[in-house]
Structure 1
Amino acid sequence: NGMQERGYDLAFAERIFEQICGFGEYGFPESHSASFAVLAYCSAWLKYYYPAEFYTALLNSQPMGFYSPSQLVQDARRHGVEVLPICVNHSYYQHHLIQRPNGRLGVQLGFRLVKGFNEESATRLVERRPKTGYHSIQEVKQILRSRRDIEVLASANAFQILSGNRYNARWAAMDSLSDLPLFHHIEEPSVGYQAQPSEYESLIEDYASTGLSLNRHP
């Protein structure tokens, strides 16, 4: 009746009322809209001026329920942020910033991405890591003492700096002779695994072990 009292006909009033009801099915209250606008503005500012810090913080805040680590990493790279793979000699449990040769900051992915590798094992690996880094997978095996930990790190290609690829890492991980105390200090030449993973196999294993890939995406 209010609209009719102000000179609007009934058909127009009912149409406006239906539109308001429809908006009420998805519309947000003004207070929510305002707070979301502030959040969006602050996020955009941080992303533009501090992109590496922005993406590192988001990756360390997972799980968020919105964007997956894979989406965040892809977006970071599209915006010129260098993202470095998980590495037994350079990663910590959390993702962290790293200075690159060009003077810009990059993102070093952390062990938290590796499925099946817990924070306790990651902390032990980092705390006992030599200043010059690990020099062999056998050295890492003496620290972790868990075949499962070694296997998941190999699958995540975290040993690439030592073995070249995950196939070689798995081959080295299967060497049980050096695990025995009597043979611990014996050094023998490594034969290595001759087969190389294809680009497709690497992509599949990356996603299976960490949920993302830094290799070329189809």
Structure 2
Amino acid sequence: MRPVTLLTGCAAPLPGSTALSGICKTPVSHPLTLGTQGFEGDEQADRRVHGGIEKAVHHYPLDHYSDWRAELSDLPALTAPGGFGENISTAGLTETEVAVGDIFRLGGALIQVSQGRQPCWKLNHRFGVPDLARRVQQTGRTGWYYRVLQTGTVAPGDRLELIDRLAPDWTLRRLWHALYVDRMNLTELAGIAALNVLAEGWRKYAVRRLESRRVEDWSARLDGTQ
């Protein structure tokens, strides 16, 4: 059981872009209602690709911040949790230990790991590092998302308690490796396509690769400007 820092943010202009973004999150000091679309008071600017049922809550490990500081020096966005747009920050829990389908109790809510995070170009602007989204994808230090199985009230300092593991072999690290490193491993792709606790959008990536024998182009997501 790990105590959590809860973070929310409002949509605001993104530095160096005409776009709005809710990527800048700050800690809250009071309880929040967690609904199926996320925490009260939290905003996403582009609901086509952010938020929604399968991406209601974003978790980014505090453990990764020291790695990023070692690589990027002490950028302002790396001085405290919230730099990567996370709603939950914890220490001692990373993509290596967490599996798709894991169910956690958090305060009065139940949440389930639905997918990893696909980094986008907004991270480049947030940090002032032109290739940061690519670095996040290449390192696998992506964080992950939850769907909300039971709504409830969550307070800062509540503990994240693992309740059940439905697909323990499918860690987020394994999923990342299959999608971004060993990208045409047909056995792994077939496993992903059949992984019903994984968000449908991610299963479709595997299905398309199996059918087309091609890997999708990520350049717009990673390098875009609008």
Provide the TM-score with structure 2 as the length reference.
0.27
Q: State which structure, 1 or 2, has the greater radius of gyration over its C-alpha atoms.
A: 1
Provide the TM-score with structure 1 as the length reference.
0.27
| Greater fraction of residues in strand | 2
